[in-house]
Structure 1
Amino acid sequence: MTRLALITGGQQGIGFGIAEALVGVGFRVALVARSKTDTPEVGAALEKLGARARYFRHDLQEIDRVGTVLDAIESEMGPVTTLVSNAGVPAKVRGDMLNLSPESFDFVLGVNLRGAFFFAQEVARRMVDRPSDVYRSLIFVTSVSATMASIERAEYCISKAGAAMMAELFAVRLAPHGIGVFELRPGIIATEMTAGVKDKYTARIEGGLVPAQRWGQPEDIGRVVVPMAEGNLAFASGAVVPVDGGLSIPRL
């Protein structure tokens, strides 16, 4: 069986960094996101990744269509051997959590938690139903915000804390089947999502917020994903790996 990684949100940012790393070690990749197929970022991603990559449009909020997109991927590329659950949305508006609206709360959790869960659920079902000699894995990209409180984006933190438990649950459920499950917690990574707060965080990073004294890059995440997807950490299923330059280490 050919190794195939399905990466949600793989057309840009952290997801694209992961896609590049996996293609570099021989994986084929299915990029899944809600962007239209003819958008510039999708075209650029496919051009850079080459013949090993395909793009499939899907909105994680449409949980009733998960089977449809997976059927399309399997028909064109074969069974998924690695799921990288990476797609996510930030808080619509940063502000006092006492003013957080139900609409913003529901939107963020609808993508980052509800959508991510039911997508992973269907991938896991198919993996369990089709035993394979090829190592399989689910890799959840959450955030340091799973445990570090940011009161101006409460809904995002709550969604990532829930996603952390989601990863643990899948790890326990899938361990008897030899399917590895891992959680990555990126810190401050230079992506489209963080572009709007670049100046703010650059000053804080230079002031010591991040011990590594630099922004994280998407390729930093990709390098960590590779050994997980290849099975080199198979007996470490359930592991949580911060990729944050030391940001989340408690300090006085």
Structure 2
Amino acid sequence: MGRPVAFITGARRGIGKAISVSLAKKGFDLYLSDKVIDDDARQTREIVQSLGARVEFKELDISDLSCHGPAFEDACRRFGKVDCLVNNAGIGAPSRGDMLEVSEENFDQLIAVNLKGAFFLTQQAGRYFSKFPKQDHPRSIVNVSSISAISASITRAEYCISKSAIPMSTKLFALRLAEYDVAVFEVRPGIIRTDMTQGVTALYDELIAQGISPIKRWGEPEDVGRVVAGLASGDFEFSTGSVFYADGGMHIQRL
């Protein structure tokens, strides 16, 4: 039986890096991508290789839809197949501020990466899965969204909007791809310690201390990586279309 293959976007650091490591530990070979290949990307590649994974790391801007087809074809050519797509690549709001002042440029950029790019790369994966039957491993698509998909933050309106459509996209693709034995999931992280949250550490330290989540600590990228690895491994394929939280219970409504 061959090793399963995962295609991961936004893999060079943070949550993407942790997902890559978790999948390597599960026995996956990895086709990793990010907008740039730098020292962070090279370090991630070295780590997953040390865990026994075959790995390719390619430059990919998911907001450029013309790159999606060639990238997927390249992954299949190098590894012979793709069993799992992890839509992890994403960007935060360029700055926090009054939503009455959000620019069209910033809005379009967030939609292009966080929503449009993920949707059309998933479409590319779906077309591939529809043409080729499942081989020897479960097949899945995992969308990494954010607690901001359901929690409104008026200082990051464009970011919240870009993430809020991921839940519906997950459900739609789960329905469309079920006939091809492809499970589709959403993983919804909470407050995770990454470069994206580094600039607001003091704010989140205070919110965590005040009990914004029942588990009073920062989430780590590895908390998300382990969830994704479990989903990609086929442990929850009957739960297609579901949301899996990695937020310390932040989503739980309380009185």
Shorter-chain TM-score tier: over 0.9
Matches of 1:239 and 1:210 in 2, distance apart?
Answer: 21
8 Å CA contact 1:188–1:215 kept in 2: the answer is yes
1:137 to 132, 135, 140: 140
Aligned to 1:172: 175
CA distance in 1 between counterparts of 2:6 and 2:252 reads 31
Unaligned 5+ runs, structure 1: none
**Residue 45 (structure 1) aligns with:** 44
Could you report, residue by residue, the CA deviation over 1:44-80 in whole angstroms, capped at 9, with x for unpaired residues?
Answer: 1111111522201110111012111112222222211
SS of the counterpart of 1:9? coil
Listed one character per residue, the Cα deviations across residues 4-61 of structure 1 (whole Å, up to 9, x for unaligned) are 01110111111111111110010011111111x3x11111111111152220111011
| Percent identity of paired positions between Structure 1 and Structure 2 | 42
CA contact 1:85–1:140 (8 Å) conserved in 2: yes
Conserved? CA contact 2:83–2:140, under 8 Å: yes
1:148 deviates by: 0.6
Instruction: State which of 78, 81, 86 in structure 1 corresponds to 2:80.
Output: 78
Amino acid at match of 1:156: Y
Partner of residue 26, structure 1: 27
2:178 alignment partner AA:
A
Within a 5 Å distance, the mapping from 1:102-251 to structure 2 comes to 102-133=104-135, 134-251=137-254
Q: Structure 2 regions of 5+ residues with no counterpart? A: none
Is the 8 Å Cα contact of residues 5 and 82 (structure 1) preserved in structure 2? yes
Q: Distance in 1 between matches of 2:32 and 2:201?
A: 26
CA shift digits 1:183-223 (9 cap, x unpaired): 01000000111111112111211121121000001111111
Partner of 1:17: 18
- Distance in 2, matches of 1:219 and 1:101, equals 34
Structure 1 residue 241, shift from structure 2 partner:
1.1
TM norm structure 2: 0.95
Q: Which residue number corresponds to residue 3 of structure 2?
A: 2
Shift of 1:88: 0.3
- Tell me the amino acid that sits aligned with residue 41 of structure 1: D
Q: How big is each residue's C-alpha offset from its partner over 1:125-170, in whole Å with a ceiling of 9 and x where there is no partner?
A: 1011001232100000001111110011111111111111111110
Give the partner amino acid of 1:60. Answer: I
Q: Which runs of 4+ in 1 moved over 3 A?
A: none
Aligned 8 A contact 2:11 2:41 in 1: no
Within 1, Cα distance between the matches of 2:209 and 2:43?
Answer: 32
CA contact (8 A) 2:30 2:54 kept: yes
C-alpha separation in 2, matches of 1:211 and 1:197 = 20
For normalisation by structure 1, the TM-score amounts to 0.96
1:226 Cα deviation from its structure 2 partner: 2.0
